[in-house]
Structure 1
Amino acid sequence: MPGIDECLSEAMALPGARGAAIVDWTSGLALGSVGDSPNGDHEATAAETAEVARSAAEYGAFAPATPAPAPAGPGPAPLTPDSAAVVPDLAAVRGELPVEDLMVTTRAGFHLIRFVETTFDSSVFLYLWLDRRTGNLALARMRLRDLSERLVLV
């Protein structure tokens, strides 16, 4: 099982990889980074990508709520706008992140963010910057999923 350095090395072995990082999305700090950074500053890139990750993981558009089940009893109680309770979806109840990964495409590259589920707080993601001409987005997404499942954080 790879640690941070090995994980980043494997990410950089992907065709078209320009830079990679492992970021704590609650603080915006890079736990490790390698290669180039789109803006020339790995710490700024970590903070900026963490903002995008937080938005996707916390906003209702990406984590929709579902209506609460009707109470048990002799008959279903009619739902009115005032009585329609809302509960988080099943993934949120289990503590899982509602988003698996994010992809942002620009004219020059692809930016991938893959959330890493951990036993503690799942506040880490893998970030990969790919060259648009030489990178393979589908392959990168599959490899990041594999890396995120094998990554060991100590």
Structure 2
Amino acid sequence: MANTEASLKEAMTIDGAIGAALVDYSSGMALGTIGGTKDLDLDVAAAGNTDVVRAKVRTMEHLGLQEEIEDVLITLGSQYHLIRLLTSASDNGLFLYLALDRGRANLAMARHQLKRIENQLEV
């Protein structure tokens, strides 16, 4: 099992990684961040993506969908933003956020690696 710091460091080894965060979407607070740029403030991204996750969870409830959200993908011109909701009972209310350079990233591999990181994460 890996702690938050080790998991975020591992996320930064994913091809094209720009920044990563572990976020509590009940509060919008980042529990840990790594990377980022002058144009990508991870604390702002954590708070903003909390709204995205809450909206999607609420929409699924309204639709009566009884499924778990695996991840949410936001595609920009030069970046991918990947939000992976943690599914274990002890991690309820948390998500991993990963920003990727679209020109250097392999989205399928990034999703696979982020799932592996989630499975090893112990908060």
Q: Give yes or no for the alignment of 1:103 onto 2:73.
A: yes
Per the alignment, residue 121 of structure 2 pairs with 151
2:58 is matched by which residue type in structure 1? E
Q: How do residues 133-148 of structure 1 correspond to structure 2 at under 5 angstroms?
A: 133-148=103-118
What is the DSSP-based 3-state SS (H/G/I as helix, E as strand, rest coil) of the residue aligned with 1:146?
A: helix
Verify the 8 A CA contact 1:38 1:45 in the aligned structure 2: no
Matched, 1:29 2:60: no
> RCO greater where, 1 or 2, for CA within 8 Å and sep 6 or more?
2
Q: Distance in 2 between matches of 1:63 and 1:102?
A: 18
Q: Which residue of 2 aligns with 1:5?
A: 5
Q: In the TM superposition, what are the counterparts of 1:1-150 in structure 2 within 5 Å? A: 1-37=1-37, 39-60=39-60, 64-65=63-64, 89=66, 91=67, 98-120=68-90, 122-150=92-120
Alpha-carbon RMSD: 1.9
The 1:146/1:38 distance shift into structure 2, 3 A limit, reads farther
**1:8–1:20 Cα contact (<8 Å) kept:** yes
| TM-score of the pair, normalised by structure 2 | 0.90
1:145 aligned partner, one-letter code: K
Query: Partner letter of residue 97 of structure 2?
Result: Y
Q: Where in structure 1 do 4 or more consecutive aligned residues deviate above 4 Å? A: none
Residues 11, 144 of structure 1: 8 Å contact kept: yes
**Is the CA contact (8 Å cut-off) linking 1:2 and 1:150 kept in structure 2?**
yes
Computing the radius of gyration over CA atoms, which structure comes out larger, 1 or 2?
1
Among the aligned pairs, what percent are the same residue? 37
In the TM superposition, residue 120 of structure 1 has moved relative to its aligned partner by: 3.6
Higher helix proportion: 2
Compared CA separation, residues 37 and 18, structure 1 to 2 (3 A): same
Partner of 1:80: none
Gaps of 5+ in 2: none
Distance change >3 Å, CA 103–CA 63, structure 1 → 2: farther
